[in-house]
């Protein structure tokens, strides 16, 4: 353990993590009472020790649960106000889903990136050299316009779902009003944005609002300088890194040559700033209970949390965070943490909790299918724990229906042979070992070279449609995404956007996922699991379409098999796949029937052969690669108001409790724009909380 | 015994010789090198008796393969043959194995159809594009051109290429004809690109 004294939070920079005991001892030796240390997590004061009847182990002004897209901005914002801030996270590193995201952030309302591009200017560091990608009019707006866009009742997508109709109004008024400030806040905290390019799903139809976070390739990884090495950014087809679990790809067309983008640029920038400012972190710590003065009344006082380390499978050593300055290394099984001003629940969503998510879609009680970032976040990620903890002390929920009708929540990613099918992580990041394979990434055209079967080996849909996802109604709009008039011609709030005639004209339903998740011959009481799905193909597929089936894209991990015959393939799957609960009894017959359809030139079962050539599956070896639906976005969670305060069933604020991002409900904007702004709002509100 | 057959031509001109591959594997991976198997026609007559290769086929665990060359029936249409292999005569008893083979026999071609596959945006040729004009199949050459000798009739033509979305068209073949298939590039998805949806 480090012997370095930690008294002033600014001295936290670039020091090793310390244990709590050493930390307190050093503070005392320095002649500063632990209870009076400004800006630091402390031992509880004599007054605070038994507040609420709980024996507290730590005391802090603001406790943030979850170091992701809403947690980190909240933490920094609260720290800016001079408050002591501790962030706990169930994982061994920060970032949550933000770390493996694309770093695409839609704000608007006249945010700084829009204004910069409208003026034709670059960024202050000179990284953004390409000219603006949109005309000024396409980015010109104010927060009133943004609010109207983001709550437009009339807009439908091509599945006839209304993505903006059910947005909580107060919440989105606050969101719109804070978008410009949040963008500036991020830019002030080491986050670099490219040119505005289009708008992210759920970000509105009428204007271009999305910019992507990036860094510049350089000789060293230096967040302050805005650079990252090629090694840390990842090497295409070869490796990822602890810095970035997914390859950072070229952002040349949005910034300049040498720019690379994804959520690592956002995450590591915010991390650098948080640590620099003295935010402290405690990893491997999962919140299990919110402590309130009374079960359903009074102030939230703090949390109880237990120790959730993750270990390297080979070395058995505990996994550690990328950076460690400012970490508190607490290893006791259970601890309690007092939050004098506020607790921020930013624990992410519920996509990994089959019990919770099956409230929305019963077929997703199937445990075989996980949330995105399964390997990265570990078994406690996306587990709805924050939402459930809030419910237990009387919090209301909101937006629970918004999971449905959007392709951003549950869908089938175009990636085979890995359970963690959302992302294409390569070896290098410490969590690659928990998925073992990158997966075989397919384009739309690749599906002509395979058939897809359910847990008994029967086909269930036209394979060309399996991973097809229709676009969502965002800028530039247009019929392709369900909006009658494109670009600047779109009319907000116009009944013609959702007329029955228009719906008939533009509707493109695709129930491939629903067919995949349907009950089948193998579904048995009481759970009626739909079971695993398999892509079946042969050597001919590899020869024609050049699929990458060698490691690291596949592995001997139960999600990819090869065999000399279909019968031998069946035996391998049944023996080695953890969720193959029933015999794959139909597969041989399905393949035989498929081959006969190819001979006949038509597929009477699912209509293949009109959209792309069909190919027989006959040339050994034969392959089976798992098709894994994923629950990516979570919509629906704790009900919050425009200050990110959590509300109870009576609509009353629960004092001292805040939430944002996917732990909260009432909105369904995909991705980072929602969560980051919530965090900004929460931190701003917390700063005004009475001491 | 488990059998599989591949590289079977999809449109075999009546009476002409054609080739395909046949593979056999014992479920327990027994050595089948040099064993006999038979081809039986739709009437039950033995067309030929051949031997499996002696070595395991590369890339497989225990598959033994034979290259087969036989003469097609003289009648057009779909013919259902069988390939069979006996289970007797081995150290351990084996069940016999069989597989149905679909032989698609067509009449002599009348016309030549030339298909040119190009990138729609760049207007550059696409080599090795798959061309299906059922029951005929081929691939384009280095110049993006495929030629199919076919009987007169109405056909749907499907063309797909590596990392290209398939294109389709319908033609009526009365004489030699040339058609162009313009294909759009298919973007392989990374999850970052999914975020762009």
Q: Are strands A440-441 and A415-416 parallel, antiparallel or unpaired?
A: antiparallel
* DSSP-derived secondary structure letter, A322: S
Question: A48 falls in which pLDDT band (50, 70, 90)?
Answer: low
B97 in Cβ contact with B85 (< 8 Å): yes
Average pLDDT over every residue of A228-257 = 97
Q: Which two tokens stand for residue A578?
A: 């953890």
What is the structure's pLDDT at A30? 36
Distance CA A683, CA A87 (A): 13
Q: Cβ separation of A441 and B190 shorter than 8 Å?
A: yes
What 3 state SS string does A427-495 have? Answer: ECECCHHHCCCCCEECCHHHHHHCEEECCCCCECCCHHHCCCCCCCCCCCECHHHCCCCEHHHCCCCCH
Flag whether residue A201 sits within 8 Å of chain B, measured between CB atoms: yes
**Which residue is listed with tokens 């609260």?**
A78
Q: Which residue of B has its CA nearest to A602?
A: B134
How distant is the alpha carbon of residue A233 from its chain centre? 19
* DSSP-derived secondary structure letter, B95: -
Chain A environment of B60 (Cβ under 8 Å)? 564, 620-621
pLDDT digits (tens, 9 = 90+) for A96-106: 999 999 999 99
pLDDT digits (tens, 9 = 90+) for A419-436: 999 989 999 999 999 999
Query: Could you tell me where the DSSP H helices lie in A583-662?
Result: 587-600
> Is the pLDDT assigned to residue A467 strictly greater than 90?
no
Distance CA B111, CA B123 (A): 27
- Residues near A496 by beta carbon (within 8 Å), at least 6 away in sequence: A484, A502
Q: Cβ separation of B197 and A472 shorter than 8 Å?
A: yes
Q: Cβ separation of B4 and A546 shorter than 8 Å?
A: no
Q: Are strands B97-106 and B77-85 parallel, antiparallel or unpaired?
A: antiparallel
Minimum distance, in Å, between the CA of residue B170 and any CA atom of chain A: 11
pLDDT digits (tens, 9 = 90+) for A572-622: 999 999 999 999 999 999 999 999 999 999 999 999 999 899 999 999 999
Minimum distance, in Å, between the CA of residue B8 and any CA atom of chain A: 10
Q: Cβ separation of B165 and A415 shorter than 8 Å?
A: no
A175 in Cβ contact with A220 (< 8 Å): no
Quick one: what percent of chain A has pLDDT higher than 90? 86
Average pLDDT over every residue of B88-101 = 84
What is the structure's pLDDT at A44? 75
Distance CA A88, CA A389 (A): 15
Question: A50 falls in which pLDDT band (50, 70, 90)?
Answer: low
What is the structure's pLDDT at A43? 76
Q: Are strands B130-133 and B136-139 parallel, antiparallel or unpaired?
A: antiparallel
Q: Cβ separation of A613 and B158 shorter than 8 Å?
A: yes
What are the C-alpha distances in Å from A690 to residues A48, A83, A89? 16, 12, 26
Average pLDDT, rounded, for chain A? 92
Chain A environment of B85 (Cβ under 8 Å)? none
Average pLDDT over every residue of A133-138 = 98
Q: Cβ separation of A101 and B195 shorter than 8 Å?
A: yes
- Tell me if ipTM is over 0.90: yes
Flag whether residue A148 sits within 8 Å of chain B, measured between CB atoms: no
> Is the pLDDT assigned to residue B140 strictly greater than 50?
yes
Closest CA to B37 of B9, B1, B7: B1
For residue B168, what are the β-bridge partners? Answer: B158
Minimum distance, in Å, between the CA of residue A442 and any CA atom of chain B: 6
pTM for this entry? 0.91
Q: Smallest Cβ distance to A613: which of B7, B162, B166?
A: B166
Phi, psi of A248 (to 5 degrees): -90, 115
Residue A34 has a CB neighbour count (10 Å cut-off) of 18
Q: Cβ separation of A620 and B7 shorter than 8 Å?
A: no
Interface size A-B, in CB pairs within 8 Å, comes to 137
Minimum distance, in Å, between the CA of residue A468 and any CA atom of chain B: 11
Q: Cβ separation of A620 and B4 shorter than 8 Å?
A: yes
* Chain B interface, best mutation among A564, A599, A602, by max B CB count within 10 A: A564
Residue A229 has a CB neighbour count (10 Å cut-off) of 15
């Amino acid at each position: 353990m480090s012997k370095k004294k930690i008294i002033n939070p600014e001295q936290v920079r670039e020091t090793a993590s310390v244990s709590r005991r050493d930390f307190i001892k050093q503070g005392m030796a320095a002649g500063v009472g632990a209870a009076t240390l400004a800006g630091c997590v402390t031992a509880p004061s004599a007054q605070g020790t038994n507040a609420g009847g709980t024996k507290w182990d730590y005391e802090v002004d603001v406790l943030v649960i979850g170091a992701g897209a809403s947690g980190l901005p909240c933490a920094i914002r609260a720290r800016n106000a001079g408050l002591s801030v501790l962030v706990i996270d169930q994982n061994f590193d920060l970032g949550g889903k933000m770390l493996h995201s694309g770093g695409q952030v839609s704000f608007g309302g006249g945010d700084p990136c829009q204004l910069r591009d409208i003026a034709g200017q670059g960024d202050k560091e000179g990284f953004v050299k390409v000219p603006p990608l949109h005309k000024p009019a396409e980015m010109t707006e104010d927060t009133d316009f943004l609010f109207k866009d983001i709550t437009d009742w009339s807009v439908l997508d091509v599945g006839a779902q209304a993505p903006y109709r059910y947005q909580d109004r107060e919440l989105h008024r606050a969101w719109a009003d804070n978008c410009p400030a949040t963008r500036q806040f991020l830019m002030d905290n080491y986050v670099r944005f490219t040119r505005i390019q289009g708008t992210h799903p759920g970000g509105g139809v009428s204007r271009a609002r999305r910019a992507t976070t990036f860094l510049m390739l350089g000789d060293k990884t230096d967040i302050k300088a805005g650079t990252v090495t090629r090694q840390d950014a990842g090497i295409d087809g070869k490796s990822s890194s602890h810095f970035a679990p997914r390859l950072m790809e070229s952002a040349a067309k949005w910034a300049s040559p040498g720019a690379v983008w994804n959520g690592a640029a956002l995450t590591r920038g915010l991390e650098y700033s948080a640590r620099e400012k003295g935010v402290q972190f405690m990893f491997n710590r999962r919140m299990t209970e919110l402590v309130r003065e009374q079960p359903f009344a009074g102030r939230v006082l703090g949390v109880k949390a237990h120790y959730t380390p993750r270990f390297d499978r080979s070395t058995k050593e505990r996994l550690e965070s990328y950076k460690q300055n400012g970490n508190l290394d607490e290893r006791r099984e259970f601890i309690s943490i007092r939050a004098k001003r506020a607790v921020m629940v930013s624990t992410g969503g519920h996509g990994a909790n089959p019990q919770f998510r099956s409230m929305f879609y019963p077929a997703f009680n199937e445990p075989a299918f996980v949330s995105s970032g399964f390997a990265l976040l570990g078994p406690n990620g996306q587990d709805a724990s924050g939402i459930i903890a809030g419910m237990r002390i009387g919090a209301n929920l909101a937006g629970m229906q918004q999971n449905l009708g959007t392709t951003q929540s549950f869908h089938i990613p175009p990636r085979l042979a890995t359970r963690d099918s959302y992302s294409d992580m390569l070896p290098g990041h410490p969590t690659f070992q928990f998925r073992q394979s990158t997966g075989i990434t397919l384009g739309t055209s690749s599906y002509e070279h395979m058939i897809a079967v359910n847990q008994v080996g029967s086909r269930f849909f036209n394979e060309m449609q399996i991973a097809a996802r229709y676009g969502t109604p965002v800028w530039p709009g247009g019929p392709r995404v369900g909006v009658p008039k494109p670009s600047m011609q779109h009319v907000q709030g116009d009944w013609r956007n959702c007329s029955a005639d228009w719906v008939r004209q533009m509707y493109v339903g695709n129930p491939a996922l629903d067919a995949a998740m349907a009950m089948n011959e193998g579904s048995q009481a009481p759970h009626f699991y739909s079971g695993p799905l398999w892509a079946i193909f042969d050597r001919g597929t590899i020869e024609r379409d050049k699929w990458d089936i060698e490691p690291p894209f596949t592995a001997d991990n139960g999600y990819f098999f090869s065999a000399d015959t279909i019968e031998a393939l069946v035996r391998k799957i049944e023996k080695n796949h953890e969720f193959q609960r029933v015999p794959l009894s139909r597969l041989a017959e399905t393949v035989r029937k498929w081959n006969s359809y190819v001979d006949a030139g038509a597929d009477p079962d699912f209509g293949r052969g009109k959209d792309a050539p069909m190919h027989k599956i006959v040339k050994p070896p034969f392959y089976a690669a798992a098709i894994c639906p994923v629950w990516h976005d979570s919509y629906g969670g704790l009900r919050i108001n425009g200050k990110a305060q959590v509300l109870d069933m009576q609509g009353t604020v629960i004092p001292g409790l805040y939430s944002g991002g996917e732990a909260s409900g009432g909105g369904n904007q995909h991705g980072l724009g929602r969560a980051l702004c919530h965090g900004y709002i929460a931190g701003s509100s917390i700063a005004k909380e009475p001491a | 015994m488990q059998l599989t057959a591949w590289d079977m031509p999809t449109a075999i001109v009546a009476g002409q010789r054609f080739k395909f591959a046949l593979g056999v594997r014992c479920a327990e991976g027994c050595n089948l090198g040099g064993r006999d198997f038979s081809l039986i026609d739709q009437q039950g007559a033995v067309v030929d008796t051949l031997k499996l290769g002696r070595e395991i086929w590369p890339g497989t665990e225990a598959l033994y393969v034979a290259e087969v060359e036989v003469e097609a029936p003289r009648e057009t249409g779909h013919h259902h043959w069988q390939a069979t292999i006996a289970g007797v005569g081995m150290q351990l008893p084996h069940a016999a194995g069989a597989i149905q083979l679909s032989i698609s026999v067509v009449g002599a071609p009348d016309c030549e159809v030339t298909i040119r596959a190009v990138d729609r945006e760049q207007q550059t040729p696409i080599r090795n594009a798959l061309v299906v004009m059922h029951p005929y199949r081929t691939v384009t050459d280095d110049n993006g051109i495929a030629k199919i000798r076919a009987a007169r009739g109405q056909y749907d033509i499907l063309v797909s290429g590596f990392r290209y979305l398939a294109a389709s068209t319908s033609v009526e073949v009365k004489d030699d004809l040339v058609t162009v298939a313009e294909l759009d590039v298919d973007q392989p998805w990374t999850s970052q690109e999914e975020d762009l949806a």
